Amino acid sequence: MELYVGDYDDFYTPVNYEPGGPQDPTNDRTWVQLLLPYARSFEIFKDPGDFGRNSGTAGGFDEDLVPNDTYARYYLASLRSDIGFNYIYLSPIVEESGVWESQPQQVSTISDPAKTIMFVDSVWARDANGNPYGGGNWLVVPPCRFEVDPDAIVDTFNVPEGADIFAVSQGWSGNGASPVVYGHAWPWHSGMLNVSRVDGSVKSISAPNLSTGCNAEPQWKGYIVNPDAYLWSSR
């Protein structure tokens, strides 16, 4: 990602090329595919701790339908990346006047890069017993949305008035068997998960610590009570 933003005027990747239209390998690209030319291999997006990857389309690839684009066939596989992107804060998809638009942010808008999550281990789905399957998820969502300000309740998603924001889930879930109990983030490593921050540093933390600084409740009903400790945004 650091190489990408260096080539694209400090902007993060869009989540998808076609956020509001029909999406398929011929007309769309995910952020994973946009980084593949820098990574050179899809293996970097697969976690060896993910024992549920060999099901469904988790390891599947599209036909190479786009001439001279060697990464086009990774579309379906990229959606099951074990690395989830903190896209709502770094590259949101916003709907205004019926039109969905990707709005990648600039790295310079992040006031504390050493604290802010960019990527985190992720999961696609879980079965009735709570076991993960299907690989990872290319997107994760934060535990809280609203911040308690001395004078008001602030929407940290920074959505324009009258607009809507695309989310793969409406916050975290109170259901322990849900794939969004941690917003699609998942501790593949003995209860721990890897977090990559905006400054490029990586740290292993426990899943409950992802909600540090906020009182996580389903559907973003909890509040950010300590913005300085909140790991998802530092504007």
User: What string of DSSP letters covers 171-231?
Assistant: S--S-TTSTTTTTTB--TBTTEEEEEETTS-EEEEEGGGGGTTB---GGGTSEES-TTT-S
The pLDDT-based confidence of 68 (bands split at 50, 70, 90) is confident
* Residue 203 domain flag: yes
Task: Tokens for 127, please give them.
Answer: 């079965």
The answer to whether residue 148 is domain-embedded is: yes
Residue 177 pLDDT > 80: yes
Q: What was the pLDDT predicted at 162?
A: 81
What does the pLDDT read at residue 235? Answer: 65
Backbone angles phi, psi at 74, to 5 degrees: -90, 10
The CA-atom distances, in angstroms, between 213 and each of 137, 146, 150, 231 are: 24, 12, 16, 8
**How high is the pLDDT of residue 60?**
66
The confidence score (pLDDT) of residue 129 equals 85
User: 161: pLDDT confidence band, cut at 50, 70 and 90?
Assistant: confident
Q: Does residue 27 lie within any of the structural domains?
A: yes
Q: What percent of the chain has pLDDT over 90?
A: 66
- Between these two residues, 72 and 117, which has the higher pLDDT value? 117
Number of domains composing the chain: 1
Which of 68, 175, 185, 79 lies closest to 129, judged by CA? 175
Q: Is residue 212 part of a domain?
A: yes
Q: What is the mean pLDDT of the chain?
A: 90
Residue 233 included in any domain: no
Query: Does residue 55 surpass a pLDDT of 60?
Result: no
Q: Is residue 229 part of a domain?
A: no
Nearest to 121 by CA among 192, 178, 171, 193: 193
pLDDT given at position 21: 67
pLDDT value of position 80: 93
pLDDT at 201: 96
Q: C-alpha angle 107/18/3, rounded to 5°?
A: 30
Tokens, residue 227: 């913005």
Domain holding 69, by residue range, is: 2-224
The pLDDT value recorded for residue 192 is 96
According to DSSP, the β-strands at 125-126 and 132-133 are antiparallel
pLDDT above 70 covers what percent of the chain?
95
The answer to whether residue 231 is domain-embedded is no
Predicted confidence (pLDDT) per residue in 10-54, tens digit: 999 999 988 766 777 888 899 999 999 999 889 999 998 888 776
Q: Does 188 map to a domain? A: yes
